[in-house]
Amino acid sequence: MENEQPSPRTSRSRSAVMAMLGALALLATASPADAPGTGGMIALPGGTYLAGERTGPAWDTITYNTVRPFLLDATEVTVAAYGACVAAGKCTPAPATVEWEAIGRSERTAWSAYCNRDRADRADHPVNCVDWNQATAYCAWAGKRLPSEEEWEWAARNAKQGTAYPWGNDHPGDRPCWSGEGSDVGKGNRASTCAVGTHAKSDSAAGVKDLAGNVWEWSSSATVVFADSRGRGGTPVKIARGGGWSDGDPRNVSAAVRFPDLPTRRSADLGFRCARTR
């Protein structure tokens, strides 16, 4: 396609051909705001909130966190948006396979079938099966960054309202794209990600979509797991938030739960969205 020359028999004018070539060049160098499927950004105020789980064994781990005003993508980054970054040569293609520590062959085969890759029929679904470095590279190309987990939780808790979920405190039910009790497709029947923004009842008060469910979302935040009682040793990991389409536990789609894992993890229920400092 790139090497085709205009035929003398074509009815297109030279100006029309040049316009078409210009449009193709624009796609290859697409700016973040113009990437298809980005869905815009939501301005969120800064403030202080009570982070962590309010009940249960983790109650004593809650802290007060303060965030500055920032912008957050209204939707998770889509297959189409990520594809624009790949076309621009700034992102590596979304993998066709999942990968995590100690995964078995049969497990890899089964879960890889749910990777959205560059499928045209999933253009408006969240890109998944991408690792932390791929998510970081996309956000950098877009002139943005990954949100910190504090920013993510602030958005999911509706800022100072401090809700348990983006929509409030009620059971998830049919609100998010998930597989739990009350899901719009029935408990345990979800077979893939959902098109972003199609579960409007799960929106936050500010209009941020799919913070709960669809895909877990990489954050910029890191921690260390498996350190000894003196903080020695351990494994550095990154934090993901929000729960995914395959989750059936309401706790997993709450604003409080953190999922630490190696930055090399690639999962069919793991994607990302970007943020920007105001």
Rounded Cα gap, residues 75 and 56, in angstroms: 31
pLDDT of 85 higher than 80 = yes
Other beta carbons less than 10 A from residue 150's beta carbon: 18
Task: Tell me the backbone φ, ψ of residue 65, rounded to 5 degrees.
Answer: -120, 145
Give the side-chain half-sphere CA count within 13 A for 215. 32
pLDDT in the model for residue 63: 86
Q: Where are the domains of the chain?
A: 14-277
CATH superfamily of 14-277: paralog of FGE (formylglycine-generating enzyme) (3.90.1580.10)
* Side chain identity at residue 76, one-letter code: E
pLDDT in the model for residue 61: 63
pLDDT of 21 higher than 60 = no
pLDDT in the model for residue 112: 98
pLDDT in the model for residue 271: 98
Q: Are 267 and 237 in contact (CB under 8 A)?
A: no
* Residues of the chain above pLDDT 70, percent: 83
The pTM assigned to this predicted structure is: 0.85
pLDDT in the model for residue 62: 72
Mean pLDDT of 249-256: 96
| Helix (H) / strand (E) containing 147 | none
* Residues of the chain above pLDDT 90, percent: 78
pLDDT in the model for residue 39: 58
Q: What tens digit of pLDDT does each residue of 218-248 get?
A: 999 999 999 988 888 999 999 999 999 999 9
Name the band, by pLDDT with cuts 50, 70 and 90, for residue 25. Answer: very low
Q: Are 254 and 212 in contact (CB under 8 A)?
A: yes
Mean pLDDT of 101-113: 97
Least confident span in 59-63, 102-106, 108-112, 158-162: 59-63
Least confident span in 140-154, 178-192, 218-232: 218-232
pLDDT in the model for residue 142: 97
Give the mean pLDDT of the chain: 87
